[in-house]
Chains A and B, each alone.
Chain A
Amino acid sequence: MIKNREVSITTWILVAFCIINIFFLVTGKLGFDAKGLGIITAVAFTLAMYSFLYKDNPVFKIAENLFVGVAMGYWIIITWFNILKPDVFETLIVPFFNDTGNAPQYIVIIPTLLGIFMLLRFSTKLSWLSRWSFAFVVGLGAGITIPNFIHAFILKQLSFDLLITSNILDNINTFLILLGVVSVLIYFFFSMEHKGVIGGVSKIGVWYLMIAFGASFGFTVMARMSLLIGRIQFLVRDWLGLIQ
């Protein structure tokens, strides 16, 4: 009974959606071109995704799986055009087979081979070759991390520009930042029991962390809200044309 009701609700919504769009296309509110059909497609996906707010349903699942597929396809093509084509195809393969005036860059064979080795992860006999690729990438990342993190995330973060200024409020803020950094670091220092002075300072660190988590939460909520406003604006302005 409930299932029949849901099928009937879904059908009526789809029929209403089709009627509205046919009306918009016939009256010329939406053009029968790439832009008009694009708006209809985007609206269909937006409404299908929002249907999840009622409950998990087939329309949402179809849209969700299509979205995953399209996103995957997008990344395949972008990887080709942004990475593999300029770095492997055009520098090594094309000059090798055609006379383009540029000599093939044979050095590119190294990352190409390492890339192919990575794909051997799925082979039972040759999967060990993928370790060479992972070792290269992990070693590269580790090597770059050490000096860059020391410079950007430790030394730079520890420098307090003009600790004492003529502005009393700036001085208070600088002191509060200093207190916050030290107390948070002490809170994360587990080699010492958090008792006495250490316990007191780490308690201040917890307060700072709570403020930061609360602020981050509030900030994220507002970012999601602005996305929601954007989608509602799209439906009301670009599709229905109710606002300009």
Chain B
Amino acid sequence: MNFFKRTIPLIIAFVMGVLMAFQYYVPHEASQSLLKIVTRWGITIAGFAVFIGVYSLFHLHWNKIKRKLPGWGYSIFVFFGAGITVAFGLYNGGEFFWNDKQQGTMFDWMYFNVQVPAGATMFSILAFFMASAAYRTFRARTSEATILLVAAVIVMLGRVPVGTLLWESLPPIADWIMSVPNMAAKRGILIGVSIGAIATSLKIIFGIERAYLGGGD
């Protein structure tokens, strides 16, 4: 049984890893279609994985309601929101879910009038919290903190009309910061991250890294 539980997953990871790594260097049509098919398979599996997230979220809120934990009443709204959206989505403007998705349905209405404004507002609230976080972070106590502060202020002012009003060279300086020192540092980080990702990928392919198998037998 251990063969099915541990060895087969390692073989699958090894075969898929080696196949996809070598596929890149084979400029044949068959190789390209293999990449296309297998990538689509990955997306299909990820489609099923969405339901793991759905189950986790519903399980969490269902337990909150069942145990009457503090704030359990709000969890009802999660089910209400999801239920009504799924119902509209499946109804599909009267065409039902087995036909192609229709445009301008109640499902789209929910998206444009609930999800989009609520999401945008949620992120825009961060503008207020960032201002207070910036006050704490940007106290120029060291030379490094001063550099960070100056770069942030220049980039912020360089992106708004008041920056030009204060000093017309601010926007070009902000652009220079973004395209020279910022890009150099990002490039260095990216190279480091890539080397790490390649090393981890090799460890996964050769079965050294097995965290994805989870615990247990």
Please report A residues at the B interface, Cβ cutoff 8 Å.
Answer: 34, 37-39, 41-43, 45-46, 49-50, 52-53, 58, 61-77, 79-81, 83-85, 87-89, 107-108, 110-112, 114-116, 118-119, 121-122, 127-128, 131-151, 153-154, 157-158, 173, 176-185, 187-188, 205-222, 224-225, 227-228, 230-231, 234
Query: B193 contacts which chain A residues (CB < 8 A)?
Result: 153
Please report B residues at the A interface, Cβ cutoff 8 Å.
Answer: 4-6, 8-10, 12-21, 23-25, 37-55, 57, 71, 74-86, 89-90, 97-98, 100-101, 107, 109-128, 130-131, 134, 144-145, 147-156, 159-160, 174, 176-195, 197-198, 200-202, 204-205, 212-214, 216-217
Query: A85 contacts which chain B residues (CB < 8 A)?
Result: 97-98
Contact A131 B115 (CB under 8 A): no
Contact B13 A73 (CB under 8 A): no
Contact A231 B83 (CB under 8 A): no
CB distance from A158 to the nearest CB of B (A): 7
Contact B184 A176 (CB under 8 A): yes
Contact A49 B125 (CB under 8 A): yes
Contact of B42 among A127, A131, A140, A222 (CB under 8 A): A140
Contact A146 B21 (CB under 8 A): yes
Can you name the residue of chain B whose Cβ is closest to the Cβ of A157? Answer: B187
Contact B120 A230 (CB under 8 A): yes
> Once bound together, how far apart are the Cα atoms of A73 and B50, in whole Å?
11
Contact B194 A153 (CB under 8 A): yes
The A contact surface, by secondary structure, is helix
> Once bound together, how far apart are the Cα atoms of A73 and B74, in whole Å?
17
Contact of A180 among B118, B178, B181, B212 (CB under 8 A): B181
The B contact surface, by secondary structure, is helix
Contact A139 B189 (CB under 8 A): no
Query: B190 contacts which chain A residues (CB < 8 A)?
Result: 153, 157
Query: B152 contacts which chain A residues (CB < 8 A)?
Result: 214-215, 217-218, 221
Contact of B85 among A50, A69, A88, A110 (CB under 8 A): A69
> Once bound together, how far apart are the Cα atoms of A144 and B42, in whole Å?
12
Contact A68 B81 (CB under 8 A): yes
> Once bound together, how far apart are the Cα atoms of A185 and B121, in whole Å?
38
Query: B57 contacts which chain A residues (CB < 8 A)?
Result: 68, 72
Query: B115 contacts which chain A residues (CB < 8 A)?
Result: 67, 70-71, 74
> Once bound together, how far apart are the Cα atoms of A95 and B39, in whole Å?
23
> Once bound together, how far apart are the Cα atoms of A72 and B150, in whole Å?
41
Contact of A148 among B10, B24, B156 (CB under 8 A): B24
CB distance from A120 to the nearest CB of B (A): 10
Query: A137 contacts which chain B residues (CB < 8 A)?
Result: 42, 45-46
Contact B126 A224 (CB under 8 A): yes
Contact B194 A154 (CB under 8 A): yes
Contact B74 A65 (CB under 8 A): yes
Query: A218 contacts which chain B residues (CB < 8 A)?
Result: 151-156, 159, 174
Can you list 21 A-B pairs with a CB-CB distance of less than 8 A? A41-B114, A46-B118, A50-B125, A52-B125, A69-B78, A69-B83, A74-B111, A118-B52, A128-B4, A128-B216, A143-B21, A143-B201, A173-B179, A181-B184, A184-B184, A205-B188, A207-B144, A210-B151, A214-B152, A220-B130, A227-B123
Query: A75 contacts which chain B residues (CB < 8 A)?
Result: 50, 53-54
> Once bound together, how far apart are the Cα atoms of A64 and B73, in whole Å?
13
